Structure formats: structure tokens, C-alpha cells
A and B are shown apart, each in its own frame.
Chain A
Amino acid sequence: MSTLEIVDLHASVETDTGEQPILRGVDLTISQGQTHAVMGPNGSGKSTLAYVIAGHPKYQVTQGSITLDGADVLEMSVDERARAGLFLAMQYPVEIPGVSVSNFLRTSATAVRGEAPKLRLWLKEMKEAMAALSIDPSFAERSVNEGFSGGEKKRHEILQLELLKPKIAILDETDSGLDVDALRVVSEGVNRYRESGQTGTLLITHYTRILRYIHPDFVHVFVDGRIVESGGPELATTLEDEGYEKFIAAVRASVAS
């Protein structure tokens, strides 16, 4: 069973005005088979947490550790992390002009699996995965994310999740920009993969809406660069009713004192 362990993680970003700390001591352990929802207000550092786990060069880790089954993730390059079984579905997927979805998917599947999938099997696999997410087959020949609508980009991220079969999947606001139908299709994709039992899922979201489709085992409230409260699914209901105000106020009070 795979486990991603984040201990006392601090990270900062270099800005024009100097180093700006964003993550301030994150502790979180995710095991295969579990789903953790991380919820927090805008700007609290949720995407930063996702990027730091994936190894984005923009952020420096100043303290703490991330391990995957005991292996030091922070020592790995971005692509090594992906090959080790980490996957990040991005909040803002990047456009890559001239690179077709089909070449991109086959190249990444080859990298992650360690060998090129046999062409005929691969085409079948890709076609089925696309159909399951209601992605039109013509997307295979389009440039990666170029001219995709917000919803199409998110579906394309989940398509990659299903094809790359990671041990730990981090979904950063996969629900944003989706209408109800698209949210259902995307959630079904995530649930299909979760049901395989192969993955631990970190679901980052601002709203509780997606939690009606993807049921978390644990809910964490993220404010000002760290987790300030953890609980079961009932915590999401509290957040839905009361918002983040209480938690933000508590953090302010503790900083002030």
C-alpha cells in the first residue's frame, strides 16, 4: 500500500520584493484507497501545496519533508515524481501548440509505464477512456489544451489520470469552471479510478459542490498556508453552512496573540 507523507512543510516563492512564505507547516498523510478533501479560501496556498508536491521549480521548500513510501520526493525531479506515481491534475492546464493530444498521451504513458504500449491496444484504451469522459474523438488530433474550453481542459486532465494510473492523485480545483453535467462526467471518471483502489486522492477545492459526487473520507480546512482543522465528511457540511469565516478569524486571533 502506498503512502504519501507530508511533514511540517514550509515553502516560499521568490517575488520582486523578496522571498514570500506561502506554506507554513503542512502535515498530511494520504494512503492508497483514501480520499482527502482540502478546502480553503482563495489565496490560502492550496495550489502551492499541489505544485510543491509535484515539484514546480517556482517554489522553494524551506523546511519539512515529503515522502512516498519512504522515498524522498523532494530529491526527485518533476518527471521522476510522476514516474514514481504522483499525478497532479492542474487548476490551469497549460497549452502546448503543435503537440497533439494523442502524441502527448502516448509519450507520457510510455514514460510512466516504462515501455511503449502496443499501438493497437493503446488506441483502443485511449478511445475507450475518451468515450467514458464524453470527449469527442477529434480531440486526439488537436493540440494539447489549445483552444479547449475550461470544461474540456478538466476532462483532459482526468483522461490523463485514468490512463496514467497514479498511486497518489492530486486534483486541484478540478470542479472549477464545470457546469453540472460536466461536473458529473468528471466526477464519475475520478470515482471510476478511485474504485480501482489503486489511488490515494487529494481533492483540492474551494466549494463543497464536488463533494456531493466524490465522497471524501477526510476533510481538511486550509487557511494561511496550513491545515487548521481536520475531520470527517461532516466537516464539509459545516463549511457549506458556515463558510471559512470562523477559521480565518481563529487564525487571525492566533497571529495577533
Chain B
Amino acid sequence: MSPVMAPASDHAPLVVSYDPEAFEVPTGREEEWRFTPLARLGGLHEHPQASAVPKVSVSSLDGVTVSDVPLTELQGDASAAPIDRISAIAWSGAESVTLVAIAPETTVDEPVEISIDTPAGVSFAQLRIEVGAFSHVSVAIRFTGEGVFAGGIQVHAADQSKATIATVVDQDASAVNVSRLHVRLGRDAVVKSSIITLGADLVRMNASVEYTAPGGDVELLGLFFADGGQHHEHRVFVDHSQPHGRSSVIYKGALEGEGTHTVWIGDVLVRADAIGIDTYEVNRNLVLSDGARADSVPNLELETGEVVGAGHASATGRFDDEQMFYLRARGIDEDLARVLVVRGFFADILGRTGIPGLADSVMRTIDARLGVTDLVADVLGVDDEVDS
């Protein structure tokens, strides 16, 4: 397999290939690797052999077909090809691709639940979700386990389809997850993706968006909560190559603890042909304690001026002492006050994932990490039905 040269741009990947050897071994000096602590990757960036197999399970629902497809069958697809060494390793090291297909003109009422459990050792998996034309589906993907994992998730939304995807990384404290979510939109397709990163020692999550026809609409939501020295890195690349597309990117992170590091890199490229597009990207971070650090780099590259809208923003703020004082002056103890402020900070993201029950389970996980368990459910009205 020879490397494929992608169209030149500051932010589009220069090399894409299904072959890991098409990419140099990162040294940490490269722009795209400079934030990532390579020593904590469990060797993923070199060329490890898989020593374990992740357990991938997909809930069975009417209208959804699940099958295993050999890698070779899908390798002709250049624009979905891996963009760096680890994503290529994650491809070539996987046994096959788990294909989840939704037939055209199908509405799947319940969310498709996919769990990817990463056992101890190094493991790889590839997932492809094909949403047929005019179909509607939502998919909740959950990563668990203790392993060193690299993987790829392709979401191909055909013309006029609508897909709502949530990816939750909730692995154990020792785990590593380097994954790439690639979204491909057909004409007037609408995709919402939420990436929610809670667990693992090191997470590097790429999300890339490709438009194959005019009118595609993508909303990328991200939420990360990092503490205890975790490294959470999120990279976004939206490639507007078609007219009249839309992209809205909102990532929010909260972090605390010595050595905790979050990174957000948001690249949006609007190519010359992509007239009439509308794009906005924003990253906001809330630093809860000293010793934690958030890097945030938005990039917007416009090759045409004929856009409906194009903007970006980034802000990293410290925990607000005045908010704390106000809440505590109303009798609310420090831990619960922090929970309230963090819940408030994430409220807009969690209110928009489109996956029922997700907001609640994510917030409970974060509450517990902030030291609050039993009290919140009752007070915050979560269990109101039970109460009355």
C-alpha cells in the first residue's frame, strides 16, 4: 500500500495511509504530537503487536445488522484512511471491522448500544456505522476496561440520514485510549456526535468530519473531566469541501489536580469550493485547582470568503471563588458547591447529547469524582419521581 497524498493545506493531514510504516515513529517534537506524553502510550506509537482482543458487543435491534468484515474489503477507501501512525496501527492490528448497518429508510427507535471492553494488554478494534439514506438512528458507544487500546470508529451517514452518536470513554485509571472518530456526511445528512471523556490515564481522541455532498450538518459536542494527573487530548478536524454545509463544535472540559493536562486542538478548514457554509467552534475549560493545565488551540482556515458564518472561540477560566462563596453562604458545603458549579458548567452540553439517560449517568460519575455521592440524587431532583 502506498501512502496517499491528501490535498495540501495547513491543517489537513499530509499523509493518509492504511499502512503504519507510511508514518514516521513520533518523537514528540512534531506539531501533532508535541502535547502527548509518548512515554505513557504503552508503546502504541511504535509498532506493538496486539496481545489482547477487545470485547465488542452490539445490542440487537430491529433494522440494525451487525457483521464482521475483513479489513481488506474496506481498504480501498482513501478518504477514510488513517491519518497518523497510531490510527494506522489501530487499523492493521485489528482482526476485522465490526460493521453496524442501518438499512435505508429505517427509523430505529431505541439507541443502539455498543460496548468496547479493553482487557489488560494491547488491543485494537475497528467499528463502522453505516446509516442508510433517510434513516434515523442513535448510537451509544462505551469504552471500559483496563487495557492499552487504539481504535477507529467510522460513521457514514448517507443522504438525508440523521445519526446521533455518543462515545463515552470510562476506562480504568491505568488504561490508554487513542481513537479516531471519522464522520462522513452525504447530501443533507445530519450527524450529532458527543465525545465524553472521563476515564483512562491517557486519552487521545480525534474527531474528523468529511462532507461528500452539499448540505451536510454536523454538531460535535465534547465533554471531558480530568483529574489525578490524567491526560485528555481532543483533536477536531472539520474539512468543509462542499457547499452549504454546517458545523458546530463545542467542547467543554473541567480539570483538577497536580499534573492533570487537557489539550484541545480544533481545526476547521473551509476549502475554496465550500461556499455558503456556516461554522462555529468553541472550547471552554474550567480549571478547578492549581497544578492542572489546559491547552486550547482553535484554528480556522478560510479559502473562501463566501460563507454564511465562520467563527471560533476559546476560553480557559479558573474556578470562581465568588460563586463558591455565594453557594456556601447558603449552607451548601464545599464539595456539593463544586458539584453544582461543575454541573452548571456542563449543563448545556449534557442537555444536547440526544441520548436519553446519558446526562444523568455522566454527572453521577463526575459527582463521585468530586467527592459527592448519595446526597446529590435527592437534592438535585434526580430522584423526584421516587420522592413524590
CA distance A2 to B330 in the complex (A): 19
Q: Which residue of A lies closest to B349 (CB)?
A: A98
Q: Which residue of A lies closest to B327 (CB)?
A: A96
Could you tell me if B329 and A54 are in contact, using CB atoms closer than 8 angstroms?
Answer: yes
CA distance A55 to B327 in the complex (A): 12
Could you tell me if A118 and B343 are in contact, using CB atoms closer than 8 angstroms?
Answer: no
Could you tell me if B381 and A103 are in contact, using CB atoms closer than 8 angstroms?
Answer: yes
Contacts of A104 in B (CB 8 A): 327, 330, 340
Could you tell me if B328 and A79 are in contact, using CB atoms closer than 8 angstroms?
Answer: yes
Give the dominant DSSP class at B's interface.
Answer: helix
Could you tell me if B325 and A164 are in contact, using CB atoms closer than 8 angstroms?
Answer: no
**Among the listed A77, A120, A164, which residue makes an inter-chain contact with B330, where contact means beta carbons less than 8 Å apart?**
A164
Contacts of B348 in A (CB 8 A): 98
**Among the listed B323, B328, B379, which residue makes an inter-chain contact with A96, where contact means beta carbons less than 8 Å apart?**
B323
Could you tell me if A79 and B334 are in contact, using CB atoms closer than 8 angstroms?
Answer: yes
Interface hits, B295-334 → A, CB 8 Å: 320-323, 325-334
Interface residues of A toward B: which range? 35 or more
A28-47 to B contact mask, C-beta < 8 Å, 1/0: 00000000000000000000
A91-132 to B contact mask, C-beta < 8 Å, 1/0: 001111111001110111011100010111000000000000
B352-388 to A contact mask, C-beta < 8 Å, 1/0: 0000000000000000000000010011110010011
Contact A108/B345 with A56-B325, A102-B381, A116-B378 known, Cβ cut-off 8 Å: no
Cβ-based interface call for A24 (8 A): no
What distance in Å separates the Cβ of B343 from its nearest Cβ neighbour in chain A? 7
Contact A94/B332 with A99-B343, A107-B380 known, Cβ cut-off 8 Å: no
Could you tell me if A99 and B381 are in contact, using CB atoms closer than 8 angstroms?
Answer: no
Contact A93/B326 with A98-B348, A111-B336 known, Cβ cut-off 8 Å: yes
Contacts of B343 in A (CB 8 A): 98-99
Identify the interface centre among B328, B330, B332, B336: most chain A CB within 10 Å of its CB. Answer: B330
Residues of B within 8 Å of A, CB-based: how many?
Answer: 32
Contacts of B328 in A (CB 8 A): 77-79, 82
Q: Which residue of B lies closest to A116 (CB)?
A: B378
**Among the listed A81, A97, A111, A119, which residue makes an inter-chain contact with B332, where contact means beta carbons less than 8 Å apart?**
A111
Could you tell me if A98 and B344 are in contact, using CB atoms closer than 8 angstroms?
Answer: yes
What distance in Å separates the Cβ of B250 from its nearest Cβ neighbour in chain A? 13
B3-24 to A contact mask, C-beta < 8 Å, 1/0: 0000000000000000000000
Cβ-based interface call for A23 (8 A): no
Could you tell me if B379 and A160 are in contact, using CB atoms closer than 8 angstroms?
Answer: no
CA distance A255 to B155 in the complex (A): 77
Residue pairs across A and B with Cβ atoms less than 8 A apart, 22 shown, are A56-B325, A79-B332, A79-B333, A82-B329, A82-B331, A83-B331, A90-B329, A94-B326, A96-B340, A97-B344, A97-B347, A98-B343, A98-B345, A99-B340, A99-B341, A104-B330, A107-B379, A107-B380, A108-B331, A111-B333, A119-B384, A160-B330
